[in-house]
Structure 1
């Protein structure tokens, strides 16, 4: 009898929410206590939670995505009205916390792991982008909105791993254009300013949808890419590799060599692949191939200018030294 009551109550709750009252979604967020110490905790089914946090949570972690700072965790208690990731058509969305709900719209879709989505209303991060039925449309992070497609992908894959074919793209005058090409990826055929026309024989319409297809591809899968370079059209068959940087990780192409940076180009993390370079945490990158750099974007832009190796100038305690990377 009690279960029937809960089921009917849940049905009523959702039917009421779908009528457009975002106040109901605010109340649901409050009842679920989803905002906790600068983290967003969304209860799911079977005592599981989706957690967005910039710090490692003190709870049993089932899965972790370092690119998006998402955790799939096990809770001790059951929540009567779990959240779902909305993949249905909705007429409206709103940005929500426990105090406010501002109805709005997406201004820009998420372009892979390099540019999160933009929403036309703002609330302090973390916040929730919700449908009128109180289901998840996106998570508002400190860098922008993590859209539902990426959240769903994280929840439905065994391990947070993304595909890479060695390019970073953007929309330029109606074309999807290569902004950066990975110089360390073997047999990478792409050049800056190449226009991507087709991916797996389907027309490419925008950078967001292309990067989503690439990222969600399995590592080792084969793909056909058609490009336009100047006045020529070229077609390549490529093997999808593993992505190492982007999102809340640095994305300079040096991550595959085990070297990660903060926003000011100090070395923030090193793994086993970097041991031969003699680097330490806190070392500051000053130059790349003889050019001064002050941002990750500049580093990614100039690191391609080498023949036999990339020459990196670092500084440690007022001592400068070179590191050569092939």
Structure 2
């Protein structure tokens, strides 16, 4: 099959990059799934049907799922199917004539940019249909299409395929996005449920394990690949009452529960899942002690006297951001009093009692000053 693909390449070159042969290869190396296609990729001598979906595909047997970035391995017949090998986007790749190839379209062009972050996808000069491929040799691909001109490239696909179970390390913080105007790496949100999280809003991250981190995407990649239960030495700069301090904390790395394509509301860490109206839809019995009596069906109304959202319908992402903001304030205040509604009654639960965090508890001032 590889010989046929090489022969097809020679014909393509002879006819000024006629990628129709590669389109036939794509049809043979993929199968229809939910109005798109799953693509057969060979990696480390194994073959996998891989597809990108923003939400989990229905009516499919999923062998591996990474809902954080929307990659899935599906249980589909592999026998006698040609497959693709992944190619890295190096400086040479960005000079080659390429094509975005799907079962219905061929779009010639070039790779404009490699993938910068988990959702900061690689970019092509033309449209890339979902689960279309970027290729210049029929059996080699540089990425898998997501939408518009974007695709997931080799580095992130390989990470997914090589992990037994998709995992992302976490330090209990979310960082402000960085750009040409904002180059400092500062903490935007802090997860109060993260074990002994020492950080505060606007702490500036200087280094992790003595490695300076240059921007948001590098931070996400570096932290996501830290091993669970390893010790990360994080050095920060903190301005406290006009006094600037440089502090170093040893943080035990934990798995990440939300973010990227998933809701990121921190409550998942204590086994609480919420819907878009902050109603508890499930609880994890194994984390009962952290939940302080929260039950399925409870609706969270206020935290520390702060209303989370108005009674008019709001964008779920805005609600999530507001919830993260209030929970970050709770870290600074040292208290986490949650007003809930249950069966027509309203009462307060103090979630701080279940949290093992000396930093947070030391900040609590019952007199409010």
Q: TM-score per shorter chain, which class?
A: 0.7 to 0.9
Residue from 154, 157, 160 that aligns with 2:166: 160
CA drift of 1:118 comes to: 7.4
2:86/2:142 contact within 8 Å kept: yes
Decide which of 271, 287, 295 is 1:258's aligned counterpart: 271
Residue equivalent to 2:116: 109
Q: Which residue of 1 aligns with 2:295?
A: 279
Q: 1:318: how far off?
A: 6.0
| Correspondence list, 1:114-263, <5 A | 116-117=120-121, 119=123, 126-128=130-132, 130-133=134-137, 135-140=141-146, 148-169=154-175, 170-171=177-178, 173-230=182-239, 231-263=244-276
Corresponding residue for 2:33?
36
- TM-fit CA distance, 1:206: 1.2
Q: Which runs of 5+ in 1 are unaligned?
A: 1-5
> Which residue is equivalent to 1:300?
324
C-alpha distance in structure 2 between counterparts of 1:187 and 1:302, whole Å: 18
Matching residue within 8, 11, 31 for 2:3: 8
TM-score (norm 2): 0.70
2:328 aligned counterpart, secondary structure = coil
- Relative to structure 1, the CA distance from residue 276 to residue 288 in structure 2 (aligned partners, 3 Å threshold; closer, same or farther) is closer
1:245-280 CA-to-partner distances (Å, cap 9, x unmatched) read 223332111110112234444445433235763432
CA gap 1:73/1:300 in 2 versus in 1, 3 angstroms:
same
Matched, 1:99 2:104: yes
Moved more, 233-242 or 304-313: 304-313
What secondary structure does 1:313 align onto? Answer: strand
**Does the CA contact (< 8 Å) of 2:115 and 2:152 recur in 1?**
no
- Pair 1:168–1:117, CA change in 2 (3 A): farther
In the alignment, the residues of structure 1 paired with residue 19 and residue 52 of structure 2 have an alpha-carbon distance, to the nearest angstrom, of: 22
- Note if 1:289 corresponds to 2:294: no
Contact 1:265 1:296 in 2 (8 A): no
Distance 2:164 2:347 in 1: 41
Change (3 A) 1:16 1:174: farther
Q: In terms of mean alpha carbon deviation, does 115-124 or 169-178 score higher?
A: 115-124
Larger radius of gyration: 2
Q: CA offsets, 1:52-89, max 9 Å, x none?
A: 34335555543222323433234323354313333241
2:68 matches 1:67 = yes
Taking structure 1 as reference, are residues 233 and 320 closer, same or farther at Cα in structure 2, changes over 3 Å only? same
Matched, 1:49 2:49: yes
Secondary structure of residue in 2 paired with 1:84: strand
CA RMSD of aligned residues (A): 3.6
Corresponding residue SS for 1:186: coil
Per the TM alignment, residue 164 of structure 1 is displaced from its structure 2 partner at its CA by 0.8
Aligned to 1:3: none
Tell me how many residue pairs correspond in the alignment.
Answer: 316
Asked if the contact 1:139–1:145 (Cα under 8 Å) also holds between the matched residues in 2, the reply is yes
CA distance in 2, matches of 1:28, 1:320: 62
Q: CA deviation at 1:160?
A: 1.5
Is there any run of 5+ residues in structure 2 with no aligned partner, and where?
A: 310-318, 353-369
